[in-house]
């Protein structure tokens, strides 16, 4: 199942059509995309029986599928080759910071380039559907509502100011584009092994598979929930593979006018113009 934020309303996407969840449920479920995660099990049960559509999909109306999570986690150095290109050791526990929720944006929104050190980072994003508190990794997938495509856009100058302030440097307005929709785990043959990548003006900059994650999605659920509860609608940016701009020689950074395209196998592609 694909679930999207279509002009601010929660919809199910099937091919080129949408089903407005609030309309077909007669108001049992509200139009706010975030409200679905609070009643995830009930929504999934309802959605299984839905066959009607309410209109055509207009991709220009797609917004962030998780526009207002209470918690937004991000994981650093979660691909071995990325740790190597950064000159750092692979961590023994997830290197965790937050990407402030106000930085999240839609799949086709512009990215404002501030300064000359704005970098790309393709990421698989996992969304919590069921509260997770001290969950074992073996049960991790049971708490995931779905997966989406994300970019952890990073202002490297701000990120490394005052020693290191990763959360602020990765949380400028619009520096967390996500989408184009959320795909439930049952749609994937193997949700632990998905191709992902990104390109700038058609030149591929990153390409890898999520099977190379140091800490998989269920392991991240276990590790994070051992510290604090993960709440419905929370998002986890699971880390970026090698190929970021700052690690290139010479470094390459995003410039106004460039088109950043980001994809994950089985989900889709987001496209963000740099301005």
Q: CATH number of the domain at 132, please.
A: 3.90.850.10
- For residues 10 and 43, state if they share a domain: yes
- pLDDT score of 270: 99
- pLDDT score of 171: 97
Q: 43, 63, 83: which is the final residue of a domain?
A: 63
User: For the chain, what is the domain count?
Assistant: 2
> What's the pTM value of the predicted model, to 2 decimals?
0.96
Phi-psi region of 203 (alpha: psi -120 to 50; beta: other; left: phi over 0): beta
- For residues 177 and 99, state if they share a domain: yes
**Which range of residues forms the domain containing residue 47?**
2-63
Q: What is the mean pLDDT of each run of 10 residues along the chain (275 residues)?
A: 98 97 97 97 95 96 98 95 84 95 99 98 99 98 99 96 91 98 98 99 98 98 99 98 94 98 99 99
């Amino acid at each position: 199942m694909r679930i999207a934020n279509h002009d601010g309303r929660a919809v199910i996407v099937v091919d080129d059509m949408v089903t407005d969840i609030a309309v077909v449920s007669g108001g049992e479920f509200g139009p706010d995309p975030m409200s679905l995660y609070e009643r995830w099990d009930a929504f999934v049960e309802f959605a299984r029986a839905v066959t009607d559509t309410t209109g055509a999909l207009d991709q220009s109306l797609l917004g962030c599928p998780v526009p207002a999570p209470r918690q937004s986690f991000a994981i650093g150095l979660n691909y071995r080759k990325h740790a190597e290109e950064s000159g750092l050791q692979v961590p023994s526990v997830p290197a965790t910071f937050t990407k402030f929720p106000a930085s999240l944006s839609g799949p086709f929104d512009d990215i404002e380039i501030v300064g000359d050190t704005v970098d790309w980072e393709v990421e698989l994003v996992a969304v919590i559907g069921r509260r997770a508190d001290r969950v074992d990794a073996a049960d991790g997938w049971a708490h995931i509502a779905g997966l989406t495509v994300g970019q952890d856009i990073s202002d490297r100058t701000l990120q490394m100011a005052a020693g290191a302030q990763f959360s602020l440097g990765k949380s400028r307005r619009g520096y967390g584009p996500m989408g184009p929709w959320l795909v439930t785990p049952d749609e994937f043959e193997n949700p632990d092994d998905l191709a992902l990548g990104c390109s700038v003006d058609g030149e591929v900059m990153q390409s890898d598979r999520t099977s190379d994650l140091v800490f998989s999605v269920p392991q991240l659920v276990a590790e994070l929930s051992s510290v604090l509860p993960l709440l419905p609608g929370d998002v986890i940016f699971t880390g970026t593979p090698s190929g970021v701009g700052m690690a290139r020689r010479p470094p390459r950074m995003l410039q106004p006018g460039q088109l950043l395209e980001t994809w994950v196998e089985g989900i889709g592609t987001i496209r963000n113009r740099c301005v």
